[in-house]
Amino acid sequence: MSRVRLVSGLLAALAFAVLVAVWGTMVLAAQDKYTLQVPNGLPFSDFRGYEDWQVVSVSQTDELLKAMVANPVMIDAYKAGVPGNGKPFPDGSKIAKIEWRLKKSTEAPFSVNVPNTLQDIFLIEKDTQRFPDTKGWAYAVFDYDPASDTYTADATGTVNCGFACHTIVASKDYIFHSYQKR
């Protein structure tokens, strides 16, 4: 009987060890988005904590809902009148544009679009020493895949609408959105 107990105990311990190993592997396999970087560009880690930044503005296209959030350096500059006062944003200014595919709300008693799945995060950072060729601004896009819950650096996103796209708002220090009245 004691031999049966010993074997049962060992099998239970082995099963527990396998379960812990599998669970540990799953936890370790979860992506840390802050380890990503656009080739020769911005690392996602420069924007750690963007999820808690203050909203600057929101916008909508036919396919996407977008929220622009900024770090405290940029929010303070906005509140001081930048860029409308003719002054540039200071180095250290950072803005993140969070883009979701949209859907019609099935719960609201009126027609309203709400976020569906996350599409990407578009990041912009001002550092005149690091990025002198683009008036101090750097751009990065990180695409989100909801099926795998992972992000990937999108090198083409910055080409399609990085500095070249933002030159049409050079008079606003290359930033499209103004700080909206609260």
pLDDT per residue as tens digits for the range 45-86: 999 999 999 999 999 999 999 999 999 999 999 999 999 999
The model's pTM: 0.78
Given a contact cutoff of 8 angstroms between Cβ atoms, the answer to whether 140 and 123 are in contact is: yes
> Rounded to an integer, what is the distance from CA 12 to the centroid of its chain?
43
pLDDT exceeds cutoff 60 at 27: no
Res 100: pLDDT: 97
Given a contact cutoff of 8 angstroms between Cβ atoms, the answer to whether 180 and 57 are in contact is: yes
pLDDT (average), residues 25-36: 71
Q: Which is more confidently placed, 121 or 163?
A: 121
pLDDT exceeds cutoff 70 at 22: no
Strand (E) or helix (H) holding 14:
helix 2-29
Res 4: pLDDT: 56
Q: Which is more confidently placed, 2 or 115?
A: 115
Confidence of residue 110 (pLDDT cuts 50, 70, 90): very high
Identify the CA nearest to 135 among candidates 95, 175, 174: 174
- What's the rounded Cα separation, in Å, for the pair 71 and 90? 12
pLDDT (average), residues 136-144: 93
pLDDT (average), residues 176-182: 86
Res 155: pLDDT: 72
Out of 28-42, 101-115, 123-137, pick the least confident: 28-42
